[in-house]
């Protein structure tokens, strides 16, 4: 069977944008409203000669921090159960937030291969120094990406397929 790569992270960090960029088409809904991915969405992706099935996860719009955390926990649990490699997406513009630590801890404990993506790095010159704080998540090297501008995807995917 094909390798399954799941994309997890807080609402609005750019999971669906990254998913669509890697899939090469618009499959998942991208919106300014957080949490518009209604359910799991699947697409085929490939990098070099590696083929995989990608899963975009999301949820309904969280009404409170409690609901957000609950949703993120179940999202992470699902990814841990079903995925072979997990891309954990964070946002350089918001920096590391509490919910990131919480999910990072779950992912770390799972012993699954995790690739840490720091999205919205639209300019390395401008935001390059801001990626270092993401080492605090304890998930190793953060990979700066701009999903919207197709930057940094090669290095990210090189790291993903290393775990195949
Ligand atoms: P999701 O909720 O994690 O699936 O996030 P979405 O993919 O729906 O994106 C949320 C918002 O972030 C949208 O307004 C996107 O246009 C924006 N976004 C996504 N990727 C980038 C990026 O690389 N740079 C910037 N500046 N914005 C981005
Ligand atoms: Mg989404």
CB 146 within 8 A of CB 121: yes
| Per-chain mean pLDDT for the chain | 91
27-66 pLDDT, tens digit each: 887 766 655 555 678 999 999 999 999 999 876 666 788 8
- Torsion from C-alpha of 62, 66, 71, 75, nearest 10 degrees: 130
Q: How many residues does the chain have?
A: 164
Counting Cβ atoms within 10 Å, is residue 78 exposed (0-12), middle (13-18) or buried (19+)?
middle
* Mutational test site, ligand 1, from 17, 20, 32, 88, max ligand atoms within 8 Å of CB: 17
Which pLDDT score, from 0 to 100, does residue 35 have? 56
| Beta carbons within 10 angstroms of residue 26's beta carbon | 12
Domains of the chain plus CATH, in order, are 3-161 (3.40.50.300)
Q: Is residue 30 part of an annotated ligand binding site?
A: no
1 CA distance to ligand 1 middle (Å) = 31
- Angle at 71 (CA atoms; ends 95, 9), nearest 5 degrees: 35
Mean pLDDT confidence for 1-22: 93
Q: Is residue 119 part of an annotated ligand binding site?
A: yes
Which pLDDT score, from 0 to 100, does residue 30 have? 79
Rounded CA-CA distance 36/29 in Å is 7
Which pLDDT score, from 0 to 100, does residue 21 have? 96
16: pLDDT strictly greater than 80: yes
Mean pLDDT confidence for 138-158: 98
CB 22 within 8 A of CB 157: yes
Smallest CA separation from ligand 1 atom 22, residue: 120
31 CA distance to ligand 1 middle (Å) = 7
CB 88 within 8 A of CB 159: no
Smallest CA separation from ligand 1 atom 12, residue: 14
16 CA distance to ligand 1 middle (Å) = 7
Which pLDDT score, from 0 to 100, does residue 38 have? 57
pLDDT band at 68 (very low <50, low <70, confident <90, very high): confident
């Amino acid at each position: 069977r094909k390798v399954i790569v799941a994309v997890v992270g807080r609402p609005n960090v750019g999971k669906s944008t990254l998913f669509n960029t890697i899939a090469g088409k618009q499959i998942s809904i991208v919106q300014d409203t957080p949490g518009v991915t209604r359910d799991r969405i699947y697409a085929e992706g490939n990098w070099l000669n590696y083929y995989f099935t990608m899963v975009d996860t999301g949820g309904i719009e969280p009404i409170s921090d409690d609901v957000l955390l609950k949703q993120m926990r179940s999202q992470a649990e699902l990814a841990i159960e079903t995925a072979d490699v997990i891309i954990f997406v964070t946002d350089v513009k918001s920096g590391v937030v509490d919910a990131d630590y919480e999910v990072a801890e779950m992912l770390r404990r799972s012993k699954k291969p995790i690739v840490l993506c720091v999205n919205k790095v639209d300019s390395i010159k401008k935001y390059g120094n801001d990626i270092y704080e993401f080492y605090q998540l304890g998930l190793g090297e953060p990979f700066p990406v701009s999903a919207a501008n197709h930057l940094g995807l090669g290095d990210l995917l090189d790291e993903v397929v290393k775990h195949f």
